[in-house]
Structure 1
Amino acid sequence: MATLALLLLFYLFHLQLDVHALPSSSDYDFSYMKSVYSASDLPLKEEYDYIIVGGGTAGCPLAATLSANYSILVLERGSVPASYPLVLKSSGLLTNLLQEDDGETPAQRFTSEDGVANVRGRVLGGSSMLNGGFFSRADDQFYNESGIDWDMDAVEEAYQWVEDTIVYQPNLSAWQSIFRDALLEARVGPDNGFSLQHLVGTKTSGSIFDNEGRRHGAVELLNRGELKNLKVAVEAYAERIIFSSKTSGVTAIGVVYSDSKGRTHEAFIRDEGEVILSAGAIGSPQLLLLSGVGPVAHLSSHTIPVVSQNPDVGNYMFDNPRNNINIVVPFALDPSVLQVVGITNDFNYIEALSYNTSFTFPQPFSFYSNGITPLELSVATIVEKFSGPLSSGSLRLVSSTDVKVSPTVRFNYFEEPEDLVRCVRGMRTVGDMLKTDSMARLKFEDLEGAEGFRFLGPSLPSNQSDDVSMEAFCRSTVTTIWHYHGGCVVGKVVDGDLRVVGTNSLRVVDGSIFNTSPGTNPQATLMMIGRYVGLRMLQKREEAKQIIYYQRK
């Protein structure tokens, strides 16, 4: 059981890679620390142009962008990466994810009502400081179905701004090369080589790990801001949004937050400013509910005064199901993170990693005096997920007063039959890969000369043409790939400009706005959106100034 738990946690915040003329390595840049403060050192009342709740994957590029012209307060519930040094290097991935959650760790654990264990980021830089580093742009479906009127030239510029700062081209490992060849043999083509674009076929992608194993997450995007205009409060728990109804409609005017000493602070926004939620797919809908924005019946059941009725806050919670097989390899294999992806015409995504694990055997097999024989094994894993999904669930409060208590969430994996069909289709492609010449070298030979794979954990059904067996495999092995999204989706909770419907001066910029996943991994899209929205906001404020100027003339 311990070995299987280790295996599952190794996938956490999965790894992948893509880029153009990118550097191979770079030292850390901690310049942003000039703008970081412990929340307990800040005044009990302050005023800013913008308040961003959440210094994560979207919040950091958003804050950096807006700081060009305005004063910014970022409220981050975790601490700085330097407080958890292992988040800064690829070798620390497992340790960060395996350590017990004592409330101070960079990864906060939660288990959905589906019974699937999951994780939230709790560190400046968010989940980009915990994940496997894979960086790949969104697919066309995401833009077409997002409900946002995109300026694609600005999208390209925003991606480029991120990629020029923290994205690197990886060196392909031995297992990733075998995996790539097996994908192509299984007709997951064409061979797209190395690319950051979302392309059907097989490709190598980019990483926020450089080739020295150093992580360069969203936190380093803060370095591109105007640091004198930027104040980042760490260990700051946003408790609720402050609203005023004195003007037309319900208007956000500030945020109440607490520090590590339990003191309560109030931060307010100046005229024309905004409160922006970037607390993620769990944190943003939770904060709206705690602040009285949401379904009346649910708020009333927690005796929370209704500020703005919105029946869809916390609804449309999606999580991409992950299914995989783990192959014990008959030779030593270096550990590798996800570097290659196969994208089918049906938008199944197939990726791979490798790692080493050990088993122990008691006497009489032991040659050691302590009675234990260690056996080192290399394991190659093939992972499958699909875009979407169609199945969704909901998020609801557990506590009406304590933001540190995680809400309950259910994702309803495979509730929609088409999701199960897509899982079966994707795992059949994995089965096709096992029949390729490229994968043959991973087989063991028994005493009679017969060859076959050895699996750690479940193997695919022997009859992969049998729908019932394949569906049972998908259901019994489902887990998360940590790409959950929704809860504040566009067209339901926020409009096309990501403003919270029924309120003023309140916006949401994070994965909670997604009604579909943006491809293989969401972090590239989230960083792009942070930059993109920030630039749009700067542009609109400048346009408003020009209108006022000409009206006065």
Structure 2
Amino acid sequence: MVKTSCLWSSSYGFLILVVALICLPNAHSLQSNSYMGFVSNATEFKSEEYYDYIIVGGGTAGCPLAATLSENYKVLVLERGGVPHGVRNLMTPEGFLTVLTDVDTHDSPVQSFTSEEGIPNARGRILGGSSAINAGFYSRADQEFYRKSLIEWDFREVNQSYKWVENAIVFRPELKSWQSAIRDGLLEAGVGPYNDFSLDHVVGTKVGGSTFDTNGRRYSAVDLLNYANPANIKVVVHASVERILLASSSDYSGPQQAAIGVVFCDRLRRYHHAMVRKGGEVLLSAGSLGTPQLLLLSGIGPRPYLSSWGIPVARHLPYVGQFMYDNPRNGISIVPPIPVNHSLIQVVGITNSGSYLEAASSRIPFASLNPFFVGAPSSPIYLTVATLMEKIIEPLSAGTLRLASTDVSVNPLVRFNYFSNPTDIQRCVNGTRIIGDVLRSRSFQDFRFPQLFGGTDFRFVGPALPTDQSDDSLMEDFCRRTVNTIWHYHGGCLVGKVVDADLRVIGIESLRVVDGSVFSISPGTNPQASVLMLGRYIGQKILRERMRST
């Protein structure tokens, strides 16, 4: 999904960085970019305007949420990034790596950050959010996610919300050489049964959905804005929300505090106020970093901590920024001796031993094999690299998010505490052992090189698995040495701790959180499908609530 790197300090480091990026969306005619008719720059926004709903963040949840609410109400979406329309590399699998490695420029759709344990990671910074920069894999949530999320689910509406998304932006991928080998290798390794193509979470090996169509064109959450009522929606880009405006109970009916609007800044550093009409809400969809950060900057969080920053306390909520999770990823990369097509994530192995397995392949510049390589030709030689990785299910190791600055544009500090819980390290060992089984399968014989004195072996890029994969200590060491992110971080505003079962911020009227920060576990193999569903689902829920109240 996003830029990453590894902890390995070898000359292969940059190559692994690039390979890791791979791990990282009839109604399909919706991709007409008609949404551009209601998109404007923040510099064009009046100093103050009123809406029924203000959505902070036009990302994976924010776009379907906005499209849904616009059916009956005036909606404003405030997105800190720009628009994907016209960004050629962003829209194709081949341009995937180019976009993800070109980070932190003035108009980059990716904002990098590094966790406090030194693991590079990234955030989406564009309309469509991380759904516009990821590897496009689409698979629904597992049942454990619904059970543990504590959200009051209506499963009929959940299913309809998934279908609403899928009719617009989800496709069946065509498997080529590497993905076909992964499928066969997983089955030989015992990750069965074979479930063919399925959008559901089912144990075994399956082909999932993709948000890249058959022509290789990306679809994302932004395309769901084409469902919106153009008369009822305004999307403002390059709008950096700095604070939620709150009113005391003496000024507003309800509990002690209520959200009445937001303050945001445009690129000329001019400030604007967006205000909520009576009966409306501020909806935070700024992501698992942006949402808890904005709550803290608005005075909603642990009282002693906010006071230490000189931030006036509006509501003491001790768990804002707590219980941050990230699913650690480990794996291997090889140079195949045979032609391998470029592929992003298409096949997944869903195990009963605490891990999911995925794979990807790409062509990268030969010069990136060595960061000290000199004399590279002006027309670089490209090398095909294929990678196979495992992601642990439901990490139990929890971390924290803290402010690094009172400037909202500065990334908060986040520590995920990878493998601090021993169950997580055992799940990684289980997953990496399956990678070893796949490498030993008949399906992978063609990916070995002949050796000088007979036999065959893989040509690894970066660390290989330990030779003795029955040795727990060696496997645990491999997991710790090669730990990385798969960009599925979540938490920081958990249900029951920061928000209630309807995702309302506890003790604050007219303020909800609608994004992955409310999740205690990442849904299924990849969270994209469920975050998209969540936006639609909560939008429908709010519409029903308003209908009952009138």
Secondary structure in 1 matching 2:117:
coil
Is 1:257 equivalent to 2:264 in the alignment? yes
- Report the Cα offset of residue 166 of structure 1: 0.5
> Residue 139 of structure 1: which of 142, 147, 160 is its match?
142
> What pairs with 1:267-346 in structure 2 (closer than 5 Å)?
267-346=274-353
Deviation track 1:194-217 (CA, whole Å, cap 9, x = no partner) reads 000001000000011011111110
Partner in structure 1 of residue 404 of structure 2:
398
> What pairs with 1:522-537 in structure 2 (closer than 5 Å)?
522-537=527-542
Segments of 5+ residues of structure 1 without an aligned counterpart are 363-368, 546-553
Deviation track 1:469-510 (CA, whole Å, cap 9, x = no partner) reads 000000000010000000101111000000000110000000
Which amino acid letter does the alignment assign opposite residue 344 of structure 1? T
- Report the Cα offset of residue 450 of structure 1: 1.5
Q: Does the 8 Å CA contact 1:328/1:456 hold for their aligned counterparts?
A: yes
Partner in structure 2 of residue 233 of structure 1:
236
Which amino acid letter does the alignment assign opposite residue 389 of structure 1? P
Secondary structure in 1 matching 2:226:
helix
Which amino acid letter does the alignment assign opposite residue 412 of structure 1? N
Partner in structure 1 of residue 3 of structure 2:
none
Is 1:99 equivalent to 2:108 in the alignment? no
Report which stretch shifted further, 84-93 or 149-158.
Answer: 84-93
> Residue 486 of structure 1: which of 491, 498, 503 is its match?
491
Partner in structure 1 of residue 152 of structure 2:
149
Cα distance 1:347–1:370, how it changes in 2: closer, same or farther (>3 A)?
closer
Q: Does the 8 Å CA contact 1:128/1:218 hold for their aligned counterparts?
A: yes
> Residue 175 of structure 2: which of 164, 172, 188 is its match?
172
Which amino acid letter does the alignment assign opposite residue 381 of structure 1? T
Secondary structure in 1 matching 2:341:
coil
Give, in whole Å, the separation in 2 of the partners of 1:361 and 1:152.
Answer: 48
Cα distance 1:476–1:266, how it changes in 2: closer, same or farther (>3 A)?
same
> Residue 14 of structure 1: which of 19, 23, 26 is its match?
23
- Report the Cα offset of residue 276 of structure 1: 0.4
Secondary structure in 2 matching 1:454:
coil
Give, in whole Å, the separation in 2 of the partners of 1:35 and 1:308.
Answer: 35
- Report the Cα offset of residue 62 of structure 1: 0.1
Which amino acid letter does the alignment assign opposite residue 483 of structure 2? V
Q: Does the 8 Å CA contact 2:22/2:360 hold for their aligned counterparts?
A: no
Q: Does the 8 Å CA contact 1:84/1:106 hold for their aligned counterparts?
A: no
Secondary structure in 2 matching 1:219:
helix
Deviation track 1:2-46 (CA, whole Å, cap 9, x = no partner) reads 76424424433735x9xxxx88x8583200011101111011011
Give, in whole Å, the separation in 2 of the partners of 1:174 and 1:409.
Answer: 39
Give, in whole Å, the separation in 1 of the partners of 2:431 and 2:517.
Answer: 26
Give, in whole Å, the separation in 1 of the partners of 2:380 and 2:39.
Answer: 46
Which amino acid letter does the alignment assign opposite residue 54 of structure 2? I
Deviation track 1:39-58 (CA, whole Å, cap 9, x = no partner) reads 11011011000000000000
Cα distance 1:371–1:150, how it changes in 2: closer, same or farther (>3 A)?
closer
> Residue 512 of structure 1: which of 517, 520, 538 is its match?
517
Is 1:473 equivalent to 2:482 in the alignment? no
> Residue 498 of structure 1: which of 503, 510, 517 is its match?
503
Report which stretch shifted further, 264-273 or 331-340.
Answer: 331-340
> Residue 415 of structure 2: which of 406, 410, 414 is its match?
410
> Residue 124 of structure 1: which of 124, 127, 130 is its match?
127
Q: Does the 8 Å CA contact 1:148/1:496 hold for their aligned counterparts?
A: yes
Secondary structure in 2 matching 1:137:
coil
How many residues matched?
A: 532
- Report the Cα offset of residue 85 of structure 1: 3.0
Secondary structure in 2 matching 1:431:
helix
Q: Does the 8 Å CA contact 1:287/1:403 hold for their aligned counterparts?
A: yes
Give, in whole Å, the separation in 2 of the partners of 1:375 and 1:75.
Answer: 43
Partner in structure 2 of residue 450 of structure 1:
455
Cα distance 1:357–1:40, how it changes in 2: closer, same or farther (>3 A)?
closer
Cα distance 1:372–1:226, how it changes in 2: closer, same or farther (>3 A)?
closer
Q: Does the 8 Å CA contact 2:19/2:385 hold for their aligned counterparts?
A: no
> Residue 389 of structure 1: which of 391, 395, 402 is its match?
395
Secondary structure in 2 matching 1:324:
strand
Give, in whole Å, the separation in 1 of the partners of 2:452 and 2:227.
Answer: 62
Which amino acid letter does the alignment assign opposite residue 383 of structure 1? M
Segments of 5+ residues of structure 2 without an aligned counterpart are 1-9, 370-374
Cα distance 1:374–1:140, how it changes in 2: closer, same or farther (>3 A)?
same
Cα distance 1:117–1:360, how it changes in 2: closer, same or farther (>3 A)?
closer
Is 1:70 equivalent to 2:104 in the alignment? no
Is 1:430 equivalent to 2:430 in the alignment? no
Is 1:521 equivalent to 2:522 in the alignment? no
Which amino acid letter does the alignment assign opposite residue 348 of structure 1? S
Cα RMSD after superposing both structures: 2.0
Secondary structure in 1 matching 2:113:
strand
- Report the Cα offset of residue 449 of structure 1: 2.1
> Residue 53 of structure 1: which of 51, 56, 70 is its match?
56
Cα distance 1:130–1:338, how it changes in 2: closer, same or farther (>3 A)?
same
Cα distance 1:182–1:143, how it changes in 2: closer, same or farther (>3 A)?
same
Cα distance 1:89–1:500, how it changes in 2: closer, same or farther (>3 A)?
same
Identical columns (%): 54
- Report the Cα offset of residue 373 of structure 1: 11
Partner in structure 1 of residue 6 of structure 2:
none
Secondary structure in 2 matching 1:438:
helix
Q: What TM-score, normalized to structure 1?
A: 0.93
Q: Does the 8 Å CA contact 2:187/2:205 hold for their aligned counterparts?
A: yes
Is 1:352 equivalent to 2:359 in the alignment? yes
Cα distance 1:306–1:351, how it changes in 2: closer, same or farther (>3 A)?
same
Deviation track 1:285-336 (CA, whole Å, cap 9, x = no partner) reads 0000000000111101110000000000000000000101012211221211
- Report the Cα offset of residue 377 of structure 1: 3.4
Q: What TM-score, normalized to structure 2?
A: 0.93
